[in-house]
Amino acid sequence: MNFIWVWNARTLKRYMIIVIAAFFTAGILYVERSQIPVFSNNDTPAAIYKVDAEDQRVALTFNISWGEERAEPILDILKENDIPATFFVSAAWAERHPDIVERIIEDGHELGSHGYRHDHYTKWEEDKIKKDIQTAHRILQEVSQEAPTYLRPPNGSFDDRVLQIAEKENYDVIHWSVNSEDWLNPGVEKIVQNVTSQLTNGDIILFHASDSAKQTHEALPVIISQLKNDGYKFDTISQLISGAEVVTKEIK
């Protein structure tokens, strides 16, 4: 038996709509995959640790929770090299050193929250976590005149509860994909190796600018020079996540 398929204008139009909708959905899914979370379960909140970038872009991030001797030299190095970075600052530290926070902002860097008390959120009750995030937000906004939108929990310690609370407080949790382990003070050469030996496009690199990290300011110029020679560009977290081009300007 022979079958004859008759395609009228209405049928053709209906199938074209289906095809276009399928391509549109596929495009959305592709874009959403550009941010790679630490873990993700359907619609549950997730922490971002790197970005699936096609070009050679990375983000330098620095945690600060105490001391005032190491931050300034690191800021000097970044300024000399015209490199933006993201600083996750403990609000308790920011209260004591508003001048350094002011310089972080003036130098064009991005300010993120590192909580208020530098303790493990995963050991706390939910109300205490929420209060700490809110307290840090208020203080950082008062000190910097900017409202932070990125949170790196103290000690990088988080779980599902922390992620859900952070989301309700309008924060994105930022982890890292490359750990310099500079806080261990393993030697300049080792810090350089920890970063450069495993770097890939879209990585978020963890450094510290607290006084406990005594070798970071010595390793940083070497790392920056090597990454520049390898063709890498430097973004803030916002730039890296959004995929925006870096706008450079002369810093005087």
d(CA 169, CA 208): 25
Query: Is 68 part of any domain?
Result: yes
**14 located within any domain:** no
Residue 143, domain CATH: 3.20.20.370
Q: What is the pLDDT of residue 56?
A: 95
Nearest CA to 209 out of 58, 59, 60, 74 is that of 74
- The per-residue pLDDT for 43 is 63
Mean pLDDT in residue range 16-30 = 39
As a whole-number percent, the residues of the chain with pLDDT over 90 amount to: 73
For residue 135, is pLDDT > 70? yes
Report the chain's mean pLDDT, rounded to a whole number.
Answer: 83
In the predicted model, is pLDDT for residue 230 greater than 80?
yes
The pLDDT value recorded for residue 246 is: 26
Instruction: Write down the pLDDT at residue 54.
Output: 86
**Residue 192 or residue 18, greater confidence:** 192
Count of other CB atoms within 10 angstroms of residue 119: 15
Q: In this predicted model, what pLDDT tens digit does every residue of 197-220 receive, in sequence order?
A: 989 999 999 999 999 999 999 999
Which pLDDT belongs to residue 163? 95
- The pLDDT tens digits for 136-162 are 999 999 999 999 999 999 999 899 999
Task: Please give the pLDDT value at position 195.
Answer: 98
- pLDDT for position 170: 96
239 pLDDT more than 90 = yes
Q: Convert the pLDDT of each residue in 96-124 to its tens digit.
A: 999 999 999 999 999 999 999 888 999 99
> Quick check: 58 pLDDT over 50?
yes
| 38 or 198, which is more confident | 198
- Indicate whether 13 belongs to any domain: no
241: tokens are 């996540």
Per the structure, the count of domains in the chain is 1
The pLDDT-based confidence of 45 (bands split at 50, 70, 90) is confident
Burial 133-170 (b: 16+ CB within 10 A, else e): beebbebbeebbeeebbbbbbbebebeebbbebbeebe
Strand partners, 102: none
List, in sequence order, every residue forming a beta bridge with 87; answer none if it has no partner: 62, 111
Whether residue 29 is contained in a domain is answered as no
Model pTM score: 0.80
Q: What average pLDDT does range 27-56 have in this prediction?
A: 62
- Look up the domain containing 95 and give its range: 36-242
What pLDDT, in 10s, does the model give residues 165-184?
A: 999 999 999 999 999 999 99
Taking a C-beta distance cutoff of 8 angstroms, is the pair 241, 119 a contact? no
Q: Is 108 a domain residue?
A: yes
